[in-house]
Structures are given as C-alpha cells and as structure tokens.
C-alpha cells in the first residue's frame, strides 16, 4: 500500500511544474490568468477528495472485498493521467484533476483501512510510519522530478502506473487469504478454544467414567453428550427467528450490555463525529496539511528570491525535509509500544516555533542557506513525529469505540470511513490553499518578503490540537 500512496501523491505533484506552461501552450490561457486557473485546478482536486472520501469509505466497509475498490481508484487515476497528458483545453484538465482527487480518496480511505486490517493493532503505528515515508517522498520529490524531466514527465507517470497496476492485481486481502488455508490451520487460528469435544472426553476420563457412561451427571457438562448452553445463548424461541447481523450492524450497544439501544440507520461516518478524540485528530490532520502544503507551494519561490536558486536548487532544498521522514518507521515502532500522545505533542512543539523561525534567513550567503536547511530539517523531524501518530490515532479511536460498544460498526468495522474523514480534513486545506494562492497572487504577497514573514508567522501560530 505504500507504493499506492506514493503513486497517488507523486502523480498529483508531478504535474505541478507542468501546469503553468501547459495552461498557456495547450489550453491557450492568457498569462495573467494562469495563477487563477492553477488555483481552480487545485480546488477541483480537493473537491474530488471531499466528495469521494465518505462514499468510498462507506462502500469499502460494507463490501466484503476492499481490493475491488482499490482497483476502481486505480482506474480513476489512470484515466486522470491520460486526460492530463492529452488535454488541450481547460475542461479536460479540470476533469482529469477531479479524477485524481477521486483516486486519492480511494487510496487514503480504503488503503489505510486495508493496512489496519492486515497488520493488527500492535503494529499499526509502525506501518503508518512506512506510509508516511511514501507520502512525504511523493509530496516533495514529485515537483522536483517534474521540473527536471519536464518533457518526459508523463512517461514517468505511466511507468509508475504500470508498476502500481501489477502490484494491485496480485494483492490478496488477509481475510481472503484465510479462506485458502488448510481447515485445521484456519480453525486453530480463528477459533481457539471452541472445540469442546476434547475437553469433554478428558473430563470423562478424569472422573473415572468410560466414554458414554450413562450415570447421573454431577453437572450439566459432566457425563453428558449435550454441549452446555451459554448464558447468553438464544432460546429455542429465538432460534426460530434467526438474528440478522446486517440488520443490527449500526445498532448502538451499551458497554457490557447485550440489549441493543434504539436502532440507528445513520452511517458510522456521521455518528463518530460526536467524539472529541476524533475531532482532535481531524484538526491535527488539517494543521499538518497546512504545514506540508505551505512549504510545497511557497518554498521554491522563496529559495529563488532569497538565494537566486534555479528550479533544480529550489527542489533540492526539499531534501532537508525529506531525509528525516526515513525515521518514520522508528517513530511508529515507538508509538506502538508507548502510545501516540507525547510523540504527537513533541511534533507540534517542533513545527510551530520553527515555522516562525523561517523568518530569520534574510539574505544570500552560505551561512543563511545552512540556517534555512537546519530549520527545515527540524520542521521535517516535527512532521515525522506528527504524521504516523495522526494516522494511527484514527484506528485507535475506532478500536476504543468498538470495545466500549461491541457491534456498533458491524462485522467489517469502520476503518475505511474513519480514514475517509481523515481525507476530508486534508482536502479542506486544499480549498483553503487554493483561495489563499489566488489572494496572494492578486496582492503580490508571494513576491514580497513581508508576505513570506506574515505567512510563516500565521502558520506557526495555528492552535495545535490538544494531545
């Protein structure tokens, strides 16, 4: 799934350096309107994520096969890439960008849910750390490579798509793979302790009675061929009316109670929004997205204005942010063992003040370049501490709700819907950024040093989510 995440993010960012030229040369957009249409394309991408995320999450949770949903997302991404490659007018480019957003919704909601299904609760954070490496690499490497290999950018895109197609076609879900295991292995792994025959035989031998002894049993379990009925088992009357699991999928059940509350037809993706823990994680996701995308869109221009870097140099400065992301699996490993609270807090403590410190480099010299890279590296470390913990927090929250309210999410759980909300929070920032870029362009803020200082100060003062 890390490759799927990388492919999606990479293809999103790969065309960023191409759009300014493609809009003028292929779509015949006047030069003065290029920035406005770039903002529109960004907003359309966010709209695709916003619309498709809850739908894809819900369908993936009610479906018995997440792989099919992933393949639909891959189909959308392939279509989007073709449209962006051959598009000669703004309408085709808008449709292509929207399909990219739909694909991102599938990958981030269904893909992350599939990871949680596969690795188990004790390794979620470490797995999310690996995904964070792919995410950061795609965000920061794509614009760099897109600028370097401008003429061959879509050849690179189709090559990566071909690799992703092969990987997704050979993907086998864990719950599907279990069906092909030997029955003895499957039963021993999936239903430990459910074979009562051996236990009853041992009980008869221990009591000195031969198997099949017809003497009066001392208890319902001793000397009897009848399996004892648990206290919570259904009576004969209830067996005449078998319980419909699908009908009770979204019933709210009190913790420790077997009597369901009033039936609710509202999907879990709506009902879980009442929990402060989830809202806190979603706010943290929005703040994290602001951190990442603000650097993605403004840092190259700042490096060009301040240090006279060309496109290659402006891209290479992102290495200061990318290199710390390789620590993400280690951060996830630590979170699996000691929790996410303090790790996430440390990440925001690093990011916020050092975003403000980006005001300090103010002239062209080697020392100022080193200072800029050092600050960016510390921000990168902060992002490494934030990204895996936020993605892990979604699954931990859903596990807690399920533990306190057994059966509330049905047999398939609500992981895809939870990560669909994660997508919504991230895509909300894309709308804000599209509006912000248009405003900055009209006022000339991005070409003014005061605009840079104001931007980093504002972002650094964003209220952090409580741990």
| Residue pLDDT, tens place only, 132-151 | 888 777 877 777 677 666 66
CA angle 141, 422, 290 (to 5 degrees): 50
Contact 390, 283 (CB under 8 A): no
- CATH code, 2-178+268-460: 1.20.1250.20
Q: What is the spatial distance between Cα 445 and Cα 442, in angstroms, rounded to a whole number?
A: 8
Amino acid 431: pLDDT? 67
Amino acid 434: pLDDT? 62
Contact 221, 228 (CB under 8 A): yes
Low-confidence ranges of the chain (pLDDT < 50): 185-227, 229-263, 439-449
Amino acid 369: pLDDT? 93
Buried b / exposed e across 270-301, counting CB within 10 Å, b at 16+? Answer: ebbeeeeebebbbbbbbbbbbbbbbbbbbbbe
Amino acid 117: pLDDT? 78
Q: What is the spatial distance between Cα 116 and Cα 439, in angstroms, rounded to a whole number?
A: 40
Q: What is the spatial distance between Cα 73 and Cα 85, in angstroms, rounded to a whole number?
A: 18
Phi, psi dihedral angles at 253 (to 5 degrees) = -120, 130
Amino acid 179: pLDDT? 57
Spatial CB neighbours of 109, under 8 Å, sequence gap ≥ 6: 53, 56, 57, 60, 416, 417, 419, 420, 422, 423
Amino acid 5: pLDDT? 80
Give the residue carrying structure tokens 């074979």. 195
Amino acid 375: pLDDT? 95
Q: What count of other Cβ atoms lies within 10 Å of the Cβ of residue 463?
A: 9
Amino acid 12: pLDDT? 80
| Residue pLDDT, tens place only, 162-208 | 887 787 777 666 666 655 566 554 444 444 444 444 444 444 444 44
């Amino acid at each position: 799934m890390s490759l799927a995440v990388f492919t999606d993010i990479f293809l999103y960012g790969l065309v960023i350096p191409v759009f300014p030229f493609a809009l003028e040369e292929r779509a015949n957009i006047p030069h003065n309107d290029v920035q406005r249409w770039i903002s529109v394309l960004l907003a359309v991408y966010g709209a695709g994520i916003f619309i498709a995320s809850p739908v894809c999450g819900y369908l993936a949770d009610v479906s018995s096969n997440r792989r099919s949903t992933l393949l639909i997302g891959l189909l959308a991404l392939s279509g989007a890439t073709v449209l962006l490659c051959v598009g000669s007018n703004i309408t085709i480019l808008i449709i292509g960008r929207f399909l990219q957003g739909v694909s991102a919704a599938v990958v981030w909601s269904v893909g992350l849910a599939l990871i949680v299904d596969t690795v188990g609760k004790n390794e979620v954070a470490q797995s999310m750390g690996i995904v964070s490496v792919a995410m950061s690499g795609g965000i920061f490497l794509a614009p760099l490579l897109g600028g370097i290999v401008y003429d061959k950018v879509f050849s690179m895109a189709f090559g990566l798509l071909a690799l992703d197609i092969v990987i997704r076609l050979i993907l086998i879900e864990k719950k599907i793979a279990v069906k092909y295991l030997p029955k003895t292995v499957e039963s021993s792994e999936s239903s430990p302790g459910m074979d009562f025959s051996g236990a009853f035989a041992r009980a008869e031998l221990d009591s000195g009675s031969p198997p099949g002894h017809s003497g009066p049993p001392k208890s319902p379990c001793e000397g009897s061929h009848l399996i004892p009925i648990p206290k919570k088992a259904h009576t004969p009357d209830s067996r005449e009316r078998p319980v419909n699991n699908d009908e009770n999928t979204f019933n709210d059940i009190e913790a420790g109670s077997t009597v369901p509350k009033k039936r609710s037809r509202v999907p879990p993706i709506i009902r879980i929004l009442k929990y402060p823990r989830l809202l806190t994680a979603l706010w943290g996701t929005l703040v994290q997205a602001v951190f990442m995308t603000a650097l993605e869109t403004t840092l190259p221009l700042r490096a060009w204005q301040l240090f006279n870097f060309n496109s290659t140099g402006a891209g290479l400065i992102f290495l200061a942010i990318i290199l710390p992301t390789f620590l993400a699996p280690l951060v996830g490993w630590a979170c699996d063992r000691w929790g996410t609270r303090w790790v996430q807090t440390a990440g925001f403590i690093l990011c916020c003040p050092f975003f403000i410190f980006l005001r300090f480099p103010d002239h062209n010299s080697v020392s100022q370049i080193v200072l800029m890279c050092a600050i960016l590296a510390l921000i990168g470390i902060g992002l490494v501490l934030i990204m895996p913990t936020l993605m892990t927090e979604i699954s931990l929250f859903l596990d807690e709700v399920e533990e306190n309210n057994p059966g509330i999410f049905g047999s398939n759980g609500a992981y895809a819907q939870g990560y669909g909300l994660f997508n919504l929070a991230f895509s909300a920032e894309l709308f804000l950024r599209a509006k912000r870029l248009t405003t900055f362009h009209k006022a000339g803020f991005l070409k003014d040093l005061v605009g840079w200082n104001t931007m980093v100060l504002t972002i650094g003062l964003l209220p952090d989510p409580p741990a």
